[in-house]
Structures are given as C-alpha cells and as structure tokens.
Amino acid sequence: MTTRVLLVDDHPVVRRGVRATIEVDETITVAGEAGSGEQALALLAEVELAVDVVLLDLQLGAGIDGAETTRRIQRLPRPPRVLVLTTYDTDADILPAIEAGATGYLLKDTDPAELIAAIHAAAAGDTVLAPSVATRLVSRVRAPGIMLTPRETQVLQMVADGLSNQGIAKELFITEATVKSHLVQVFTKLGVDSRTAATAAARQRGLIR
C-alpha cells in the first residue's frame, strides 16, 4: 500500500532533499509540494489530491506558521496526519504544534531510515517523537512548577522576538489586556518582574528559542 505525502517547506532545496530521501522507499509517493501553509491548505482542498501524511516545517516565512497550518488541516472533512519536520525543539515550537493536532514531531537531523519509518507510523495513526522532543515533554510533566501553557509560551516567544503588547494582540487576535494577563502569569511562574528577565529565564530553561 502506498503512503502519499505532501511536503510543506518554504525552502525549495530542502523540499528536493527530503523528497529524494523518502522516495527511496517505493511505498512512499510525494503527492505534492507547498512552500507555505496557505498553499498547502489550497492543495489539500483539491479533491484529486489524496494525502495520507503532511510532512510540515514549522517556520514557513510570511503567512501562517506550521502550528496554525496544522490546526486548519484538522478542520478538513478527512484530515491527513501531520508530521512536523523542523529544526526547532523548544517548548515554544513543540507545544503549539502538538496542541494543534500534529501526530509526530521530528528534527531535520533525523536519520533517513527513521524518517521513512516515521512517515509510515504517522500514516497508521501512531505518535512519533524525536528523542529530544519526548524528553522535553516528559520534563514538563515532571516539573509542573515552571510549566507555561502553549499560549503563554507563544506570547513570551513573541516578546522575545521584539513584538509589543499591541503587536502581539494583533497577531493573535486577542486584546492587549489579555496579552498583559498572560505576561503576568508568565512573570509569576518564572519568578521575574520584567519582559527582559522573563525572556532570559525562559531561554535558559529552553522554553523559547
């Protein structure tokens, strides 16, 4: 039985490399490629494009990111499995993707044979996690005292990226008051009293990039 894959990455060279890697397995076929989340969703909306697994990067340049793309894929009548393949392994990346419905989360240094096996596993509905990602998730369960929610992590990452409260509110379609509320919770959990201290503490703990 053939597993049909949609590759989603904003770098054409990366897509070509991944395609060459996974099509070594004759039971895997790349049904299509997309350079953005929007393009991926448009392809998936085409009746003739049957896909079992979406192999998806998280950072896709301008437009919606991988987590939001995953969330929208889950709303399709018959959504394919989403297997994240990225270079990012912080809580700020992992948690939103898993929360959005990703079946698996791998890093781009994954061995080719393991990637192929993961695609088949994802197609079968099994969860596949890179060892470092699994370790991070287990660590969060064991250390709930410093656990940020996916939204708090997302807001803090945006603070670290230089966005103002107003900018964050606009990006997430929430009010500035809600942004401030999230930050208050973040400050309390991290034991800090400023945006700068919060980003420093979160980077030290590997919570954000």
Residue 67 · residue 38 · CB < 8 Å: no
CB 76 within 8 A of CB 29: no
Number of H helices, E strands in the chain: 10, 6
Give the pLDDT of residue 92.
74
Tens-digit pLDDT profile for residues 63-83: 888 999 999 999 998 899 999
Considering 88, 107, 140, which residue would you say is the last residue of a domain?
A: 140
Q: What is the CATH number of the domain that holds 192?
A: 1.10.10.10
Please check whether residues 97 and 191 belong to one and the same domain. no
Question: Kindly report the CA angle at 42 between 44 and 52, in degrees rounded to 5?
Answer: 15
Q: Which of 97, 115, 140 is the last residue of a domain?
A: 140
Tens of pLDDT, residues 138-147: 766 665 556 7
Residue 209 lies in a domain: no
Handedness of CA 14, 62, 175, 183 (dihedral sign): positive
Domain encompassing residue 118: 3-140
- Model pLDDT for residues 125-174, shown as the tens digit of each residue: 999 998 888 877 776 666 555 678 888 888 999 999 999 999 999 988 88
Please state whether the predicted TM-score (pTM) of the whole model is above 0.85: no
Question: CA geometry: angle at 86 spanning 190 and 76, to 5°?
Answer: 95
| Cα-to-chain-centroid distance, residue 53 | 15
- 53 and 126 part of one domain: yes
| The 81-86 sheet, strands edge to edge | 28-34, 3-8, 53-56, 81-86, 104-107, 128-129
